[in-house]
Structure 1
């Protein structure tokens, strides 16, 4: 019997691709006096390329942007701070996020998040989605000192939830960091489909969050 469902954040609950597009478009508008010499489409496209879907921290991204585009009216540090401050205002949830969490709560399941990333930044994004209070535990790699796929971060979350691995499910979009890592500690792994991968081995595969309660039934 399943007693807990744990989630990844980016690409699972937060539609990070759409959030990034919204943010960088708005950043271009807000800082147009210093980046306006760069065509909008090129600025956005290059940021997304350098970002590598969040796997490159933005200090490196903005250092490269300022160098490539000869941005001299603002420092890369100021651009980074703008990202840290403003990104949370552009967070886009995946469809059925709140209704799915409410349904899982109604089934008396314990809920958790395990996400890699910067502590306050990720927590701000969770709060921006309006979902913080649905979760019994939230683990963010910077604050834990370990990150997925390290099994210890999964074990820590399960210990806090007081649920054994075999009674737990982990939902994520990354085949290795989420699905395989969770399975290796004894959890069931649900892969939320992502166009970056195919033929992923998982206990279940979903395209929508709303499918999770149906799987549990």
Structure 2
């Protein structure tokens, strides 16, 4: 039987404390050490910054290398909005990427590898399905995850962000339309509601209870105890 699990990345398999906001703020501090702009102000300004914040928009023309060019313009706009001079904003925006792609910013949950391995032993094929930057496959390799996965579908490469149907359709096609599949993620909208519209059972992790999820788990290990999962 063809069985597959689609896994979100950040917040599900790994955790990174305010990764993007910290990268934006740390870069600003490098250019303006005495900036009056606070981390809280930066964080408040970034809730509509990323493609996954407006998934209904068409991003199919800004995939791959164009993705970061788009984001650099967005970073620059937010800096200017915070009062940063335009020339400084433009320079700083080009250095955020290198902070985001630092391997040490990401920390595997303690049960990530054991659960991924157990799922493979149970006959499931694992796929990452993530709203993220184009280099996610390289980051997964750097974190020692590649051998546990049969494929990686990332919005920065396909141009669609969860919860759009299109990215889930691409995932299903990549997995050869499995007879049994699950979506495991930490976002009730992008992961759980996105999966539900495709009739994929959604498993919410690390986020407490939510009515839209078929199962809500505190740890990845609890996945192995779901009735009928094996």
Whether these two folds match at TM > 0.5 is yes
Secondary structure at the counterpart of residue 171 of structure 2: helix
**Alpha-carbon distance in structure 2 between the residues aligned to 1:66 and 1:44:** 15
The 1:25/1:60 distance shift into structure 2, 3 A limit, reads: closer
Q: Is the 8 A contact 1:51 1:58 kept in 2?
A: no
1:142 aligns with 2:156: yes
Would you say 1:9 and 2:15 are equivalent positions?
no
Under a length normalisation based on structure 2, what TM-score does the superposition of the two structures give? 0.74
**Cα distance in 2, alignment partners of residues 180 and 192 from structure 1:** 14
Distance 2:202 2:101 in 1: 28
Structure 2 counterpart SS, 1:154: helix
Residues 67/200 of structure 1: CA separation in 2 closer, same or farther (3 Å cut): same
State how far apart, in whole Å, the 1-side matches of 2:107 and 2:76 are.
23
Residue in 2 aligned with 1:158?
172
Measure, in 2, the Cα distance between the counterparts of 1:161 and 1:151.
15
Match of residue 97 from structure 1 = 112
Q: TM-score, normalised by structure 1?
A: 0.78
After TM superposition, give the deviation of residue 170 of structure 1 in Å.
0.4
Alignment of 1:41-52 (within 5 A): 42-52=37-47
Q: Which ranges of structure 1 fall in alignment gaps of 5 or more residues? A: none
CA RMSD of aligned residues (A): 3.0
Taking a change above 3 Å as real, the CA distance of residues 45 and 2 of structure 1, as seen in their structure-2 partners, is farther
- Which structure shows the higher helix fraction? 1
Matched residues in 2 for 1:23 and 1:64: separation? 13
